[in-house]
């Protein structure tokens, strides 16, 4: 289904035609359902400490899944902001959908990267081409200058959130400054039912816990909450306890309160452990304590990193989710749909 949409993006197609083609794809792809059911019963193979699976990854991720955090960047067509921390290579929508097809993922959430500042043109064009049936967007705004009409127009395209990014730009805020920033962003988006997506360090969770109840909007935390993880040598020699990380217990409390979600994504930005024992322990606890608030994402195209293979991490997520009936569908599909108001 995804490959077909890559072809469709190359030329204008009427919505009715797209709908017809989508229905045809659903009928034609029906064998995937039986493959998926068989995959759930198949056992992984462990050899030389390497875990593999007899059925390809793309046949084991649930149909209708979402990659809830990825980017499209085209510096030649959409120049980056002055003072951007880096200038990436071009990563087009066609390339993004080709990547998603390798995972069997049909739906994506486009997130505004820091290099574009508040100019969301690249994201909005890509989102318009995908269409709201398969795409959602998270933009960056200046709440003082963005008018309600603009937000309403973006809502029609599929935008469902605004991003506040402190981590990528190394911005440090006091609790009062963070509260003011989040309240300013919450006011214009509250009538639309949008959420605020936050990229900030895990140690800031205690101050966030005191702020969130007053916002009146949902919150989504990027990349596990960006914890500062111990070296692999320490993890290898002990049973890693995620509650030793400053802010982790508060993150759990936020998730259980019901207004906050967290993305399990971008492990390469956090862990130096090739076996992902640290993030495995964190993911296991997140799933145990707040299964309805955890969302899978790839962070494609992995800006500032090269040669990233999302396979091992995705395998880890599937393996941990398999311990409870229905959890795989929640983490890869349903939780994202609730956060992004896919059916509302």
Q: What is the pLDDT of residues 36-66, one digit of tens each?
A: 555 555 555 544 344 567 788 989 999 999 9
The per-residue pLDDT for 34 is 54
What are the tens digits of pLDDT across the range 4-23?
Answer: 344 435 444 344 333 333 33
Distance CA 224, CA 278 (A): 11
The per-residue pLDDT for 36 is 52
Whether a cis peptide bond, with omega within 30° of 0, leads into 301 is: yes
Distance CA 11, CA 257 (A): 46
DSSP per position, 318-339? HHHHTTSTTHHHIIIIIHHHHH
pLDDT at 87 over 90: no
Between 246 and 83, where is the model more confident?
246
DSSP per position, 190-203? GGGT-EEEEE--GG
The per-residue pLDDT for 28 is 39
Q: Identify which of 172, 176, 168 has the alpha carbon closest to the alpha carbon of residue 197.
A: 168
| Six-digit token string for 344 | 């509302």
Range of lowest pLDDT (14-28, 69-83, 215-229) = 14-28
Distance CA 21, CA 300 (A): 27
What are the tens digits of pLDDT across the range 246-273?
Answer: 999 999 999 999 999 999 999 999 999 9
Distance CA 139, CA 124 (A): 9
Helices (H), 64-222: 93-103, 121-130, 148-157, 175-189, 205-211
What are the tens digits of pLDDT across the range 58-75?
Answer: 899 999 999 999 999 999
Question: What 8-state DSSP symbol labels residue 208?
Answer: H
Q: Identify which of 293, 299, 287 has the alpha carbon closest to the alpha carbon of residue 323.
A: 287
Average pLDDT, the chain: 87
Q: What Cα–Cα distance (Å) separates residue 203 from each residue in 213, 225, 288?
A: 19, 9, 21
**Strand stretches in the chain, DSSP E:** 45-47, 50-52, 66-70, 107-111, 135-139, 159-165, 195-199, 218-221, 260-264, 294-296
Between 83 and 202, where is the model more confident?
202
Residues 134 and 107 sit within 8 Å (Cβ to Cβ): yes
What residues are paired with 42 via a beta bridge?
Answer: none
Q: Identify which of 326, 324, 111, 321 has the alpha carbon closest to the alpha carbon of residue 199.
A: 111
């Amino acid at each position: 289904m995804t490959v077909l949409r890559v072809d469709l993006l190359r030329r204008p197609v009427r919505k009715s035609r797209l709908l017809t083609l989508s229905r045809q794809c659903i009928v034609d792809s029906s064998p995937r359902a039986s493959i998926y059911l068989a995959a759930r019963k198949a056992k992984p193979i462990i050899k030389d400490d390497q875990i593999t699976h007899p059925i390809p990854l793309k046949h084991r991720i649930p149909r209708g899944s979402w990659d809830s955090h990825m980017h499209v960047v085209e510096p030649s067509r959409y120049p980056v902001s002055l003072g951007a921390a880096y200038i990436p290579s071009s990563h087009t929508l066609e390339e993004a959908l080709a990547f998603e097809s390798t995972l069997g993922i049909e739906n994506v959430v486009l997130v505004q990267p820091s290099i574009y500042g508040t100019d969301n043109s690249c994201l909005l064009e890509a989102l318009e081409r995908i269409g709201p049936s398969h795409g959602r967007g998270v933009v960056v705004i200046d709440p003082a200058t963005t008018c309600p009409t603009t937000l309403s127009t973006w809502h029609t395209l599929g935008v469902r959130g605004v991003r506040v990014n402190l981590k990528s730009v190394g911005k440090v805020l006091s609790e009062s400054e963070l509260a003011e920033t989040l309240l300013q962003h919450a006011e214009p988006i509250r009538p639309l039912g949008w959420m605020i997506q936050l990229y900030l360090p895990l140690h800031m969770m205690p101050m966030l816990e005191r702020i969130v109840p007053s916002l009146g909007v949902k919150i989504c935390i990027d990349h596990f909450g960006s914890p500062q993880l111990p070296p692999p040598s320490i993890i290898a020699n002990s049973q890693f306890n995620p509650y030793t990380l400053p802010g982790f217990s508060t993150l759990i409390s936020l998730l259980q309160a019901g207004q906050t979600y967290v993305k399990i994504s971008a492990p390469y930005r956090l862990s130096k452990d090739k076996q992902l024992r640290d993030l495995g322990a964190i993911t296991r606890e997140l799933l145990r304590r707040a299964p309805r608030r955890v969302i899978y994402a790839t962070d494609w195209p992995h800006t500032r990193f090269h040669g990233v293979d999302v396979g091992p991490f995705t395998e880890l997520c599937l393996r941990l989710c398999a311990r409870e009936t229905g959890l795989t569908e929640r983490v890869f599909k349903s939780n994202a749909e609730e956060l992004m108001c896919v059916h509302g």
